[in-house]
Structure 1
């Protein structure tokens, strides 16, 4: 049995999804719709929805999706019966850099099983990770918030962070805090289609920076200097893209420059490239 929690502000998308769930879910379920036309942040909306839930398995999902997999609810519950698992998603990453960033930090570390539609041109891109060892899932740390499922006991330990007020960074924060005690996965057995590509704008960038103070890097993650350096360069580049003030640039550049992560030689090369 499954409680499906949706922060909703687009009735046309919600109505389509509601009908789609009815014919695809395959297990008893309830839909908890939190009507949220920018009245509250998504963390507050999801926590409110979870407080109304009656089932032990929770799914937090965007409303601008449809499911292509039949009986996906049964597949999901079978995963959640494993007490070692924390969050089940359909897109995520098995590397988390030191700098503030979203889950898609590195293409080689990203794991996805999703149809991503461009809502303007209706172009569909089906992205499927080649799962290792003939498994139907991959272990990850951070997850995309379009689809995140967990048991209620896991949710109650961590909940969504009410200090995150908007609609960005909540997924990285939630999944990474859970990853300290549980294993998160991306499944290749559930396929959804998502009708929005998101908006990585200045608000998103600022929210990622704010959220960074709430989560820690995975303890068992092996440091990758190449990814760390690339992530740091991308972080600096976003200062110019989003017109961050000089004072903030200097503060943030120093705060998130880790010699141990990036490597001393790489830092010297980076400094030299900036001053030559």
Structure 2
């Protein structure tokens, strides 16, 4: 049984979404609506309310612009959590998160279809402003039913309720609607549970992404909070790949500053990085790369 938590400002969406859930989930569930029509709650506060109200052993957090396209997806969620040590599942995520502040998908499209790629994804992405712009992207770098990742995207994810005795959406540090997914993923990871991106539940996300000033603010909070635990990786990267990923991380972060007309400061960026972790990780990658070349 699953508790589904959804925060929305647009209550007229609820009936349509509930109908879609009831036609596809195929197991008992409860639907917990957090009314944010007054815009008086951050997503951190709203999701914590959802956890408190939930009654079932698995909690599914979803955006209010999701459409389910897989019949029996609830049974699949239960099956994944029956596996030992799975603490979080989602339909999009990354196997590497840089210590350089940026978006989690900073790997760039160059690696999206590569077996050495960092991104995992199984979603129909539809532009809310032009629904004719719709694309189903499945990125399964290992060709398996699921891939171990270091975090999952917040559009849709599930966590066992029992973990919320040890984790919590950090409403004290953050406000707004960004980085709740990365932060809760890191909390699950710190407990040594597996986080997986699953490839057999198809959802559609009808959205228009937004990287505003609040995104940049929460980005800085996240990387300051977790810099001792970053970079994080669930895969082996060559030194060349690592440098490329770090380059894109910096570029994207800088571009977001420019688009929001915020001054980009190299000094501030440098302060946000744990240089001991950064250098250790890069040195290990360099040694591994050249050791592999030597023994080939």
Work out whether the TM-score is over 0.5: yes
Are residues 238 and 131 of structure 1, via their aligned partners in 2, closer, same or farther at CA, if it must alter by over 3 Å?
Answer: closer
Corresponding residue for residue 242 of structure 1? 260
Distance in 2 separating the partners of 1:232 and 1:124: 28
Q: In structure 2, which of residues 203, 219, 223 is the aligned counterpart of residue 208 of structure 1?
A: 219
Q: Structure 2 length normalisation: TM-score?
A: 0.81
Distance in 2 separating the partners of 1:182 and 1:220: 12
Distance in 2 separating the partners of 1:66 and 1:221: 31
Deviation at 1:84, TM superposition (A): 0.8
DSSP 3-state at the match of 2:22: helix
DSSP 3-state at the match of 1:195: strand
Assess if the C-alpha contact under 8 Å between 1:64 and 1:196 holds in 2: yes
Name stretches of at least 5 consecutive residues in structure 1 with no aligned partner.
264-276
Are residues 220 and 88 of structure 1, via their aligned partners in 2, closer, same or farther at CA, if it must alter by over 3 Å?
Answer: closer
Distance in 1 separating the partners of 2:141 and 2:12: 35
Q: In structure 1, which of residues 91, 97, 112 is the aligned counterpart of residue 121 of structure 2?
A: 112
Aligned residue pairs: how many? 260
Assess if the C-alpha contact under 8 Å between 1:112 and 1:186 holds in 2: yes
Assess if the C-alpha contact under 8 Å between 1:102 and 1:172 holds in 2: no
Assess if the C-alpha contact under 8 Å between 1:92 and 1:142 holds in 2: yes
Distance in 1 separating the partners of 2:161 and 2:3: 10
Which of 40-49 and 122-131 deviates more? 122-131
Assess if the C-alpha contact under 8 Å between 2:106 and 2:248 holds in 1: no
Q: Deviations over 1:86-130 (max 9, x none)?
A: 110000000101122232121421110000111122121001013
Are residues 237 and 124 of structure 1, via their aligned partners in 2, closer, same or farther at CA, if it must alter by over 3 Å?
Answer: closer
Equivalence map 1:11-90=2 (5 Å): 11-37=11-37, 38-90=39-91
Name stretches of at least 5 consecutive residues in structure 2 with no aligned partner.
112-117, 284-296
Deviation at 1:203, TM superposition (A): 2.1
2:240 pairs with 1:229: no
